[in-house]
Chains A and B, each alone.
Chain A
Amino acid sequence: MERRLRVDWIKCDGYGLCGDMAPDLIELDDWRYPILLPVPIEGGLVQDALRAVDCCPMKALVLEKKQPDRRTA
């Protein structure tokens, strides 16, 4: 099952812990807000992703099943 990380940008406050926990998946910008890297989340990276999600103080990061991109608006 393919998974992807998603940031709730309204909740995110730029603590940047996610980038420290999963540096192969998440870069941090100049203000410590996450930049999600286009890397498949598989193997050992799944654990990194879960740790990044767990450590977010704002609960702004989620790991979800990849949905086909279907926009209606």
Chain B
Amino acid sequence: MLAGPPLDGQPEPFAAHLARLGALPRFEDPGVLISALEASGLLGRGGAGFPVGRKWRAIADRRDGRAVVVANGAEGEKASLKDQVLMAHRPHLVVDGAVLAARAIGAHEIVFYVGSEHVAAVAAIGGAIHERRGEVRTPMRLVTAPISYVAGEASAAVHYINSADARPTMTPPRMSERGVAGRPTLVQNVESLASAALIARFGDQWYRSAGRCESKGTALVTLSGAVAEPGVREIELGTTLGDVVSDAGGVTSEIQAVVLGGYFGTWAALPDAWDLPLDPAVMRARGLAFGCGIVGLLPTSVCGVLATAEIMAYLADESAGQCGPCVFGLRAIADATLRIANGAARRGDLDDIGRWTAVVAGRGACRHPDGALQLLSSALDVFGDDFVGHARTGRCGITRSRVGTGAGVGVA
């Protein structure tokens, strides 16, 4: 997906893209492409990992209504860079995928929804749309998303495109039935679209020839934290965490844990996780998340409780502020976590966190609190003793000092 010219900040021009990959194939029967996507096993790369082929088929099989494709490039996850890098350097691959999706589901409009803070990506996609006018008959437009974590959530994207309000909406109606302008809408992450454009050219067998473990194909990941060469890389699915980190020049200090999948992801303890295949199926079976491909390495010098508390506080701040369990529950959980991390725990904070966590998930328009709580639950597993130590004694077992002295280094 990132093959081709170096990632030096310049978008690949259309002519170069065509010379390198050839023309976009035409499918007389759109079902052929959808079948290839299903056979490829490609999963959505926005975070939820829903099978791409099945998603396209559900909309293609509708009875009526002109459909819309939304190419979702609003990468609200702070630690994730992969969608921005992809759009900024391979914009035509993203456009290809969106055009294929539009043809496959019978869409009459394509909206590229790109985070306004991703300046290079906005410029590259805007330029690519301009270059493709004439060649692509389906009307294409660029909508820049406001800077917020939840703006990239699928229903929030549709809501913003419709009403300039980037807050999630309640389901039903499903977007696949009533989305942009009330039409059936496919909201698909830009990396998923780029992969679809490659599968359309080279076939599902080709795609499945990559993959070292259960899941097939390649994916983009973003490395951050204590690693020599942080940033975006394309990996063969199933490559172990250790191999990915080695390829990125190795670690820059001793590592105690890794956050996988993003702020909605999970912590895993090291060194145990070095042999973990970065493979959505394997990770799910172990209670971990591939999510949007974030790999954040936490050095032993940084307190995991504090790192978690900072992420929870950020996610509570980023609530769209619509649903009570998120507005009050997630906020209360984040505040209690921050008190514990800072050595200012109140009696009952740890128990309250457990009690609230058990009831907040699943009670909202979107899954924002659910994702945050998944991360916290994994933190309680990985840093459990530290949480108890912080809460009871106000001392940090990692930094071996009184907590609250503020050595907060964001891993992610």
Complex CA distance for A29 and B174, rounded to whole angstroms: 28
B206 on the A face (CB < 8 A): no
Residues of B within 8 A of A31 (CB): 324-325, 328-329
Residues of A within 8 A of B32 (CB): none
Partner of A30, one of B54, B55, B176, B332: B332
Residues 80-94 of chain B, each 1 if its beta carbon lies under 8 Å from chain A, else 0: 000000000000000
Interface size on A, residues (CB 8 A): 15
Residues 30-52 of chain A, each 1 if its beta carbon lies under 8 Å from chain B, else 0: 11010100000000000000000
Is A14 touching B324 in the complex (CB atoms < 8 A)? yes
The residues in A between 5 and 30 inclusive whose CB is less than 8 angstroms from any CB of B are 7-10, 12-14, 29-30
Residues of A within 8 A of B322 (CB): 9-10
The size bracket of the interface on B is 20 to 34
- What total of A-B pairs shows CB separation below 8 Å? 54
Complex CA distance for A7 and B329, rounded to whole angstroms: 16
Partner of A29, one of B50, B176, B329, B365: B329
B187 on the A face (CB < 8 A): yes
Most chain B CB within 10 A, of A9, A12, A13, A71, is at A9
Interface of A is mostly: loop
B327 to chain A, nearest CB (A): 8
Given known pairs A9-B322, A10-B322, the reply for A73 and B169 (CB within 8 Å) is no
The residues in B between 151 and 186 inclusive whose CB is less than 8 angstroms from any CB of A are 154, 169-170, 174-176
The residues in B between 333 and 373 inclusive whose CB is less than 8 angstroms from any CB of A are 356, 359-360, 363-365
Residues of A within 8 A of B50 (CB): 71, 73
Residues of B within 8 A of A (CB): 50, 54-55, 58-59, 154, 169-170, 174-176, 187, 322-325, 328-329, 332, 356, 359-360, 363-365
